[in-house]
Structure 1
Amino acid sequence: MFTGIVEELGEVVHLTDAGGDSAVLAVRGPLVTSDAAHGDSISVNGVCLTVIDNVDGVFTADVMGETLRRSSLGVLRPGGQVNLERAATVGSRLGGHLVQGHVDGVAQIVAREPADQWEVLRFSLPPELSRYVVEKGSITVDGVSLTVMAVTADTFEVGLIPTTLKLTVLGGKTVGDPVNLEVDVIAKYVEKMLGDRS
């Protein structure tokens, strides 16, 4: 479980084909690796990955085909930046919202509108996810917990403050770039429970 508060920008060292439809991802992140052990969870652009090795500030993780198909991790290249967050611990602050690190879909940035001190980003909204996205609700974009400012049938908007622009990959993304989306898990559970009522 994560909170959607990015701890550091990591650097992709490599994404190597591991045979079949899997890969091995290596990421440099001195902060998140400072206490990372084999089997720990680290969110990489919103995708929960399991640490295999941690050597000199670089951790590696296996990425299975399902993850490559349902996220944008497959387009990562050496030298690129990624949002990193360690799993939350019992008693840690919940600064964002409950984030599982289970990507629901991939969207694209369709517009960026700069203001004096902040920026509005508009994203495409996959049809199968639109029912879970509500104005003033929470959504995770590339692992960042954000509040939805506006939503239509096929887009949603968020506002990014200077800190988010500076300390996450969202500050450097351009129109057309893919992003990982995770909708609020509570909405999915509510839908499931209401759907099962007779």
Structure 2
Amino acid sequence: MKRVLNLVLQSAKPRTVGSLIFSRNKQKMAVSPSLNSLSKVPKSSSPKPQIFNLLTTTPKTHFKFTPIFKQSTLSLFTAGHANQKPTIKHHSNSSTRCLFTGIVEEMGEVKQLGVADHGGFDLKIHANTVLDGVKLGDSIAVNGACMTVTDFDKRLNEFTIGLSPETLRTTALVELEPGWKVNLERALRSVDRVGGHFMQGHVDGTGEIVGMEMEGDGLWVKIKTEKSLLQFIVPKGSIAIDGTSLTVLNVFDDESCFNIMLVGYTQKHVVLPLKKVGQKVNLEVDVLGKYVERLLGAYKTS
């Protein structure tokens, strides 16, 4: 062993052998780690404690720690609202959210119909009952078409509605003239009785009166319409004619017609008996029939 050490010391100055520096000492031989060494041999002096930065260093452990400053996903929904009550948005009234029953409240009188100063098409109606508690933006069915009140004058007992180009194309309102009567019904409230059937006030199309005949005190009315509407009309089913909820009695598929009968009381409170053969009426079929047809159509194509 002594001979080996002599050979090493004679060949060069003290140098690093592997990862250790050897130095000669008469008393003893010390082995110390090099500053540049990558050896895993521990230092001779007491090792200094290592301080880990918990924010940047991943601890060598089987458990995964989440830094306390990291925002929780849940906080994205609750931040700033911990002490607040949930807010419920109230949507403004619109025709798509209104329901009617087809029980006419009164007949109003057309006062004016035509192009207004603002460029739109306005319809002004004289009424009494439906003006009770009326507000701008309220919905009133006029001959079965859900319309929005744009102006009213309680002193003159009049209110105004605007008619869109689509309304003029798809309803019979365009045929109205000053002095004519129209059926009026306010939107249904949750506490009201449903005397007729649920109606949306969305006119599906028009029909033409092709026959009117009295039998006793009852009035038979025969109406012709398009086959696309007739498929939703069934005997003993409900239909809205100018906003009046009526019961279909017969359907004549070969003529594309159906008929109804008005009793004496109804004749005095709706506009249908005031019309003549050849005039048009607004029709709204039962919405349930439209949903069924839509679902069956999707089933057949799938």
TM-score under structure 1 length normalisation: 0.96
Q: How does 1:80-159 map to 2 (within 5 A)?
A: 80-153=180-253, 154-159=256-261
Q: What SS does structure 2 have at the residue aligned with 1:157?
A: strand
Q: Deviations over 1:67-123 (max 9, x none)?
A: 000001111111110000000001211100011111111111101110112111000
Amino acid paired to 1:165: Q
- Between 1 and 2, higher relative CO (CA 8 Å, sep ≥ 6) is seen in 1
Q: 1:159, 1:47 → 2: CA distance?
A: 22
Q: 1:21, 1:118 → 2: CA distance?
A: 44
Report the number of matched residues.
Answer: 198
1:177 is matched with 279
* 1:190 aligns to 2:292 (yes or no): yes
Answer with 1 or 2: which has the greater Rg. Answer: 2
Q: 1:92, 1:23 → 2: CA distance?
A: 32
* 1:46 aligns to 2:144 (yes or no): yes
Q: 1:4, 1:178 → 2: CA distance?
A: 18
Structure 1 runs of 4+ with >4 Å offset = 19-22
Q: 2:231, 2:185 → 1: CA distance?
A: 27
Q: 2:264, 2:120 → 1: CA distance?
A: 36
Q: Which runs of 5+ in 2 are unaligned?
A: 1-98
TM-score under structure 2 length normalisation: 0.64
Q: 1:26, 1:7 → 2: CA distance?
A: 18
* 1:160 aligns to 2:258 (yes or no): no
* 1:59 aligns to 2:151 (yes or no): no
Once the 2 structures are TM-superposed, how far is the Cα of residue 174 of structure 1 from its aligned partner?
1.1
Q: 1:150 to 1:22 in 2, by over 3 A?
A: farther
Amino acid paired to 1:189: Y
Stretch deviating more after TM superposition (55-64 or 18-27): 18-27
2:115 is matched with 17
Amino acid paired to 1:10: G
CA RMSD of aligned residues (A): 1.4
Q: 1:20, 1:128 → 2: CA distance?
A: 36
Q: What SS does structure 1 have at the residue aligned with 2:249?
A: strand
Q: 1:117 to 1:132 in 2, by over 3 A?
A: same
Q: What SS does structure 2 have at the residue aligned with 1:181?
A: strand
CA contact (8 A) 1:21 1:64 kept: no
| 1:36 paired residue among 111, 114, 134 | 134
Q: Deviations over 1:36-85 (max 9, x none)?
A: 11111000011100011110221101110000000011111111100000
Amino acid paired to 2:294: K
Once the 2 structures are TM-superposed, how far is the Cα of residue 22 of structure 1 from its aligned partner?
4.3
Once the 2 structures are TM-superposed, how far is the Cα of residue 34 of structure 1 from its aligned partner?
1.4
Q: 1:60, 1:149 → 2: CA distance?
A: 36
